[in-house]
């Protein structure tokens, strides 16, 4: 549950930050998500949060595309297919999200200790 919340928070935060800041703002979103909702799988949460965000956004754009730019870009990148390009987009975003979430989470003391306050 907490994990799902963490993924969703990262996704929502990043999608808001992307509206006002450059692409690397996804790292801020994932970092915050890691810091506030630290779980046992922060990397996966960051990876999924950003990966799903980028994948969805790219898919939305691709389904209403007037021209096959994804095919053209795929051809420029050693002939990869539009699907692979979509997955590569999600992967790149996901990697940054995952690492940033780990960084955020590591800033906070382990949860176990918190309980004793």
Partner 1 sequence: MSIAKFLISSILTLLLIYFLDNSWNIGGNPLPPLGRFLDPYHGFWQNIEKTDQKGSTSLDIKGLKAPVKVVFDSLMIPHIFADNDDDLYLAQGYVTAMHRLWQMEFQTHAAAGRVSEILSADAILNYDRSQRRLGMVFGARRAMEFMENDPIVSQVVRQYTEGINQYISSLDYASLPFEYKLLDYEPEAWTPLKCALLLKNMAQTLNMGDKDMEMTNALKLFGKQYIDLLYPDHEKVGDAIVENAGKWNFTPISLDTVPLAVPQEFISIAKLPKSDPTTGSNNWAVSGSKTATGSPILCNDPHLNLTLPSIWYLLQLHAPGINAMGASLPGAPGIVIGFNDSIAWGVTNAQRDLVDWYGITYENQERDKYQLDGKWIDTEKVIEEIKRKGKPTFHDTVVYTRWGPVTYDKSYRAEHNLKDYAFKWVAHERSEEVLALYKLNRAKNHSDYMNALNHFHSPAQNFAFASVSGDIAMRIQGRFPVRRLNEGKFVLDGTKQASGWLAYIPNEQNVMYKNPERGFVSSANQYPVDPTYPYYVTAPNYEAYRNRRINNVLREKNNISVEDMMKLQNDNYNLKAAESLPTFLNMLDSGSFTKDERAAFVILKQWDYFNNADSEGASYFEAWWDMLMPMIWDEMQKENLLLEWPTTFTTIRLIKEEPAFEFFDITTTKEKEAAPDILRRAFAESVKNIRKWKDEHADEVAWADYKDSFIGHLLPPMKALSIPVKTGGNHDIVNAHSRTHGPSWRMIVSLEKSGVKAWGTYPGGQSGNPGSKYYNNLLNRWVKGEYYQLSFLRGVPSQDDAIFITTLNPK
Task: Give the binding site for partner 1 (CB under 8 A).
Answer: 18-19, 22-24, 26-27, 31, 54, 57-58, 61-62, 64-67, 69-70, 72-73, 75-76, 79, 88-89, 92-93, 95-96, 99-100, 102-103, 106-107, 109-110
> Of 1 and 28, which CB lies nearer to partner 1 in the complex structure?
28
- Phi-psi category of 109—alpha, beta or left, where left has phi over 0 and alpha has psi -120 to 50? beta
- The rounded radius of gyration (Å) of the Cα atoms in the chain is 16
- State the nearest-atom distance from the C-beta of 5 to partner 1, in Å: 21
> Of 4 and 107, which CB lies nearer to partner 1 in the complex structure?
107
> Of 2 and 106, which CB lies nearer to partner 1 in the complex structure?
106
CA dist., res. 80 & res. 39, Å (int):
35
Which token pair is 82?
């539009």
């Amino acid at each position: 549950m907490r994990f799902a919340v963490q993924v969703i928070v990262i996704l929502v935060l990043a999608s808001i930050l992307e509206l006002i800041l450059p692409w690397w703002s996804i790292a801020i979103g994932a970092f915050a998500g890691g810091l506030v909702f630290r779980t046992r799988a922060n990397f996966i949460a960051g990876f999924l949060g950003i990966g799903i965000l980028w994948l969805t956004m790219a898919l939305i754009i691709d389904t209403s595309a007037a021209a096959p730019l994804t095919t053209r870009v795929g051809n420029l990148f050693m002939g990869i297919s539009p699907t692979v390009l979509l997955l590569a987009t999600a992967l790149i975003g996901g990697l940054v999200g995952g690492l940033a979430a780990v960084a955020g989470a590591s800033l906070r003391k382990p949860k176990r200790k918190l309980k004793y306050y």
